[in-house]
Amino acid sequence: MQKIRGFEVVKGFEEKDIHLPRRKTKYSAAYDIEAAEDFVLPKYQPGMKPSLIPTGLKSYMQDDEVLLIVPRSSSPKKQGILFPHSIGVIDKDYYGNQENDGHIFVQCINLKEDDVFIKKGDCIAQAIFQKYLQVDNDDAEGERMGGFGSTNR
């Protein structure tokens, strides 16, 4: 079978019972993503960096596709989770990179007054595969050399 798009468990998480994302209903656009391990999300304080929650996942896709990591509609109210950047972008060339094998992390801050305990298997985000377009004079030739946040390195 030819691989078109999908999810795989990242190196180092093969024995950690990671669930591949799935849609819950036939008309859902997004795949639910779970936390790969128990995680304490500290309450937000000014100047603090966002937390990176590991998913144990990587994703492959076609050349003209991107994977968008978006908040669940219930996350701010139920879990206190907010994405400081509103949306995460996973490029095709992030898959299998030499730095972290394409491990997808969910970048979050906690809006609640106390730390939030996220259990392994809790849904923390959703993922949507999307086609994208390029401009006529696109001449991007660079190659990814690292993992999270490495596009401009």
CATH code linked to domain 6-131: 2.70.40.10
Q: Which residues contact 89 (CB under 8 A, 6 or more apart)?
A: 66, 67, 68, 69
Tens digit of pLDDT for each residue in 62-82? 999 999 999 987 776 677 788
Tens digit of pLDDT for each residue in 95-147? 999 999 999 999 999 989 999 999 999 999 999 999 999 999 988 877 757 65
Note the pTM of the prediction, 2 decimals.
Answer: 0.88
Average pLDDT, the chain: 91
